Amino acid sequence: MSRSGSQTYSWLTADFIYFELVSFFENKRATWTEPTLLPCFPRRNSTLHHLTKSSWSPFLPIAATGAGAILLYLVRYISYKLSVRGKLPIAPRSEASWWLGHDYLVAKNEVGVEYGRWTRMLGPVFRIKSALWQDDVVIISDHAAVKHIFGQAYTYIKSPALQPIVVKVVGRGVVWAEGDEHKFQRKMISPAFSISAVKKMAPHVMTCVERLIQRMQNDCTSGGVFNLCDYIPAVTLEIIGTVAFSYDFGPESPEGKAILDAWHTDVTLFSSFAGFLAPIVIGVAPWITKLPIKALTEDGTAKKVIHQVGRKMLQEPPNLDRTDMFSILVRESWQGKLRPDAGRRLDDATLLDNILTFFMAGFETTSSTIQFILHDLSQHSEVQRKLRQEILAADSSDIDVIESLPYLDAITREGLRLHPSVRDTHRTAIHDDVIPLKNPVTLSNGETVTSLPVKAGEGFIIPFHVLNTDPTVWGPDADQFIPERWLKDGSNPPADELPHGPWGNVSNFVDGPRYCIGWRLAVQEIKLITAAIVKNFELKDTGATVKKFISPGCATLHRRQGRLPPARDCSDSPLDR
């Protein structure tokens, strides 16, 4: 603003308005300068037009801003339509909500149903309409593209829109971290997940499993049907508490009850429409997370409990003998602080956030996979019988023997393939890039492309269930529970044509620098719990209808009609004790 003699105003609407309006309402004309699409900054020899106070119109800023916004929208829209991304196949527009896009259709239906249907219709690369009029997002299950995105983990970061939720639930640990911070945290926590470290956890896992079997036997002494979904989350939480802290988080402990109750509450919230919409609204207006809203600012129950226990344990001297994750990381940090050349070490807050991450990422995801494997076994009595025979013929006291059983291994792989505990992963490019494609994609103008140009800020969704059940890879029986496919030579395509990951040729554990660091423990838990239950109980299908849903909070939901599955009829079991 400038003042000289009669009051005058120098006015420029914004850096991104590429024209100057000259006394628009007074002279009914506009002078256009700088026709190229460059930011409009004052030039040394240019004079900003002055509007006298008498000619000032209160509508001029509104009109100019509106015109600029329209121009920007048109430029952006035309640019998008001319791009490769704008010509990709798109899910049927008739199926999209005018304000929720295709997102709500995906969320309200069973896991993988819509993405799978659209993939069969359009191919492994297509667009969907996003909720709240955000940019279209690309759904991508092309194996070469997924391998590239996972391999370039620091170019394709996790969706920034989800970060406030991640911080609230699991803090600023390795799941939250990006770039150099992720590399640092990953390096610091790796000793707790080495082969030798996980092997030392196995006896503690087995102790928790034995307590589970005892509880189940006590509860079914009179026979009848009961629901294993009430037991599995409790034992996986107990296992994580033991191997992470050497602390009792069993179902009868106050801490265990608090976490399980909070988890059930969160699952209910996240499965609601409000739970679906909240992350989307935060993505559109991230400033909302700064508002003094209790639900957004207050830490979750699990975070409070874990931090409380952890801070208490941090007051104690490091234990040189314990093999739990917490003790390993404390020793590593403590020993590093004693070395002058050690450099940066994990601070206490980051250490506790990583322990919290192990808790929340470990107990529920593993639990849901086990529940669905047991449900599959209840529906495939011959597979169950064959597995039981293999287990009974083995030395069940030797954990290594149990983990190496070939049919149990095949069932674990098949269960993970069919039942990923996370629906998908969102990635956002922070740099321009080009994604290679295994399968050429035909654009709306008839052109065929073998790569996908990417601009910084563009988003992608990688659907795990689609990757794991693609009939062009796994065959026409891709959606069926057939453990034998892992045992017969030639049943599956070569490994380089299957999903990439650290174990099992399934996408569940991701790939690249951000692959799931706890995959060894997860596989160990699945095998030991499944083997123990099948050895001691006969699993029978109650006839209930089971539907699989995954909330935005990554919690698997089991919607049921009739009796709660999976169910166990203990009275008919030949292995009752």
Can you tell me the distance from the alpha carbon of 390 to that of 392, in angstroms, rounded to the nearest whole number?
Answer: 6
- Residue identified by tokens 């219709």 is 121
Running along the chain, 577 residues long, what does each successive block of 10 average in pLDDT?
A: 39 36 38 41 45 58 84 81 92 96 92 93 97 94 96 94 83 94 94 93 96 90 73 93 88 84 76 85 85 77 86 83 88 66 80 90 89 95 98 91 97 96 92 97 96 95 95 93 93 84 92 95 97 94 74 44 37 32
Tokens of 74: 């048109």
- How many residues are given for the chain? 577
**pLDDT score at 343:** 73
Tokens of 285: 């207006």
CA distances to 429, 430, 436, 465 from 433, in Å:
8, 9, 10, 26
**pLDDT score at 222:** 58
570 has binding-site annotation: no
Strands 567-569 and 433-442 come out as unpaired
CA distances to 139, 142, 483, 519, 520 from 515, in Å:
20, 18, 24, 8, 12
**pLDDT score at 545:** 76
CB atoms within 10 A of CB 400: 9
**pLDDT score at 221:** 67
What distance lies between CA 30 and its chain's CA centroid? 51
What distance lies between CA 193 and its chain's CA centroid? 20
Pair 553, 572: CB distance under 8 Å: no
What distance lies between CA 381 and its chain's CA centroid? 33
- Residue identified by tokens 């019988």 is 385
Can you tell me the distance from the alpha carbon of 275 to that of 278, in angstroms, rounded to the nearest whole number?
Answer: 5
Q: Could you give the count of Cα atoms lying within 13 Å of 262 in the half-sphere of its Cβ?
A: 17
Pair 46, 1: CB distance under 8 Å: no
**pLDDT score at 223:** 62
Task: Provide the 8-state DSSP code for 7.
Answer: B
Which domains, ranges and CATH numbers included, belong to the chain? Answer: 8-82 (no CATH), 161-572 (1.10.630.10)
